[in-house]
Structures are given as structure tokens and as C-alpha cells.
Amino acid sequence: MPEFDLIQRYFTRPAPGVELGVGDDAALLRIAPELELAVSTDMLVQGTHFFPGADPRLLGHKALAVNLSDMAAMGAKPRWALLALSLPAEDSAWLQAFSEGFFALAVAHGVALIGGDTTRGPLNLCVTILGEAPKGAALRRSGARPGDDIWVSGTLGEAALALAHLRGQIVLPASELEVCARRLHQPQPRVALGLALRGLAGGAIDISDGLLADLGHILEQSGAGARLEVGALPVPPLLRAGLAATAPERELARHCALAGGDDYELCFTAAPAQRTEIAALAARLSCPLQRIGSITAGGGCELRDTDGAILQMKETGYDHFA
């Protein structure tokens, strides 16, 4: 199938509110003068981010979800996306399933696909997403202040548990594997939470590479340090038991909870005076929010284990070039 027929068949949909979308050399968008544009790009590469033979419908979902998570971390309303695909061959069934997964999530979040590119090559999925936030209201990594609480949404470590199972490091019971695999393959970006945190959170980031690594970006940008309590981490029962076990179970549990990545939850800071409002927000959105530590003056991150001892972690998260 010729390239432009492929684009027309699988990736051209109506884009309400877009001046000019798919089909020209560039899209044309109108941005209200009181808004700022938030832009982010994420790439998923076969063999690095997903296994060969991965379900294309789930890949379509995840390719967009990881970008929506960036918008959530910025407190930006996602509006438009561009999709670049490198494909080893034209496969109608694969393209149909991928586009269905992608557009199902796009429709759920009001995102229009407005352009992109296709080429032949190793399987590579790249999405650029654009969103809007009121001027001066976007969340940033640089807003944490000493004395702030550190919060995380949802649960941590389930996606890393699924990956450990797929790599043969552990064997998960069927019921737990189903839950963990869903977290790995179909992350649910916290867009509503990010929007609600505007004006409430100090620093914010999404957890893609691991809690310690991503919190470290907040600390670096804010010129601050942190104190974390391992016992306060919102983890599933299997990891909770592992954190209190002996090595090597404990080491794997620590890795999944603190450095495993692929959680796509939000980590944010807020003043202690905001605790009641944050609790109300969690109830209103049906989104668990857990306080796990505090921001300190200076630098570095002090990690206190479940027994109160200071824990040293060599690994803090995923690094493509480490």
C-alpha cells in the first residue's frame, strides 16, 4: 500500500477545532492568547521499550499514554498529537489494531491526531503531543521548596514486577500477573490529577524511569534535597512483603518500588497546609494520593528503610545510556 494511502486509511480522522490537520505539509492550530503551549515527545523502540511481537493495540495505547503522562505532569490539557512510525513492512492487521488502540485513548482525552510521518525501517513509534495551560499556571519540576510534602499517586512497582516476570526473574501468580501486566502495557495517564494540581502543587513530574530518578529531577531543578520513607510507599502487597523480606527478594522489591519505572504516576510536592485539600482531591478524583516524605534544604535524597535505617541505593532508575 502506498504511504499516503496508509496514512489516509489508518490515521486520518476528523480533527474538530483544528484549522488544518492531516494532509498538508504542516498543521495549523489556533492558540488563545491567554494560553501557553506545552510540547513533549516520547519514543518507543522495539527491543528497548517493548518486546518483539507485542500486541499492536496495546502499543497504540501506550505510545500515546506516555505522552499524555507528560502533559499531566505539566498540568496541561492535551489537545493535539503527531505520530511518526518506522515500520518494517506494511501489515494491515497490525496497523488496524495499533490505530484502534491509539485512537481509543485519543478520543477519551479529546486529543486530535494532526500529522506525522511514516517510513520503512525497524519498528519505532514516536509521538509528539501538544497541550495548553493558562499562562504561568503550568506545573514545573523547579517548584519544590524545603518543608514541602512529597506525594505520589496510585501504586508503584507493578509494571516493574510484570517486566521481571517477562524476563524470567520471578513467577507471578496469574491474578497478580494480570494486574501488573495491565500497568505495564496499558498505563493510565493522570491527566485529570495534573489539571487539578495547578495552583496546588509546587514541583511535579511523572514517574517513567523510577521514583528515585524522577524525584531527583525535581530536586536538581529546585535546588533542594529530600527525605523519603520506604514504609510509606504505596506498593502492592507482594512488594510490601518483599520490602520486609531477606535478600534477594528484598532487593527486587526495592528495585521495583524505587527504581523500576514505567509507573506513569505523578510525583509532586505541596506545602503541609495543603494536606486537607489534597485528601479532598484524592476522594473527588477517586485517585489514591500518598505522602511519602518531605523536601529538605541542601541536596541529595535520604532514604529511610522500613526499620528506620538509612538505605543506600546504587540504582535510582532507568538510563538509556548508562
pLDDT tens, 63-111?
A: 999 999 999 999 999 999 999 999 998 788 999 999 999 999 999 999 9
The average pLDDT across 231-257 equals: 85
C-alpha 205/C-alpha 74 separation (Å) is 7
Contact between 166 and 242 under an 8 Å Cβ cutoff? The reply is no
User: Starting from the edge strand earliest in sequence, which strands make up the sheet with 112-120, in order?
Assistant: 35-45, 124-134, 77-87, 112-120
Domain 141-304: which CATH class?
Answer: alpha beta
Predicted local confidence at residue 212, as pLDDT: 95
Q: Is the dihedral of CA 45, 51, 55, 59 positive or negative?
A: negative
Is the model's pLDDT at 251 over the cut of 80?
Answer: yes
pLDDT tens, 2-50?
A: 666 666 666 666 666 676 666 666 778 888 999 999 999 999 998 888 8
Predicted local confidence at residue 77, as pLDDT: 97
Contact between 79 and 112 under an 8 Å Cβ cutoff? The reply is yes
pLDDT tens, 213-229?
A: 999 999 999 999 999 99
pTM as predicted = 0.92
Pick one of 2.40.170.20, 3.40.50.1370, 3.30.1330.10, 3.10.20.30 as the CATH number of 3-134. 3.30.1330.10
Predicted local confidence at residue 321, as pLDDT: 38
Residue spans per domain, the chain? 3-134, 141-304
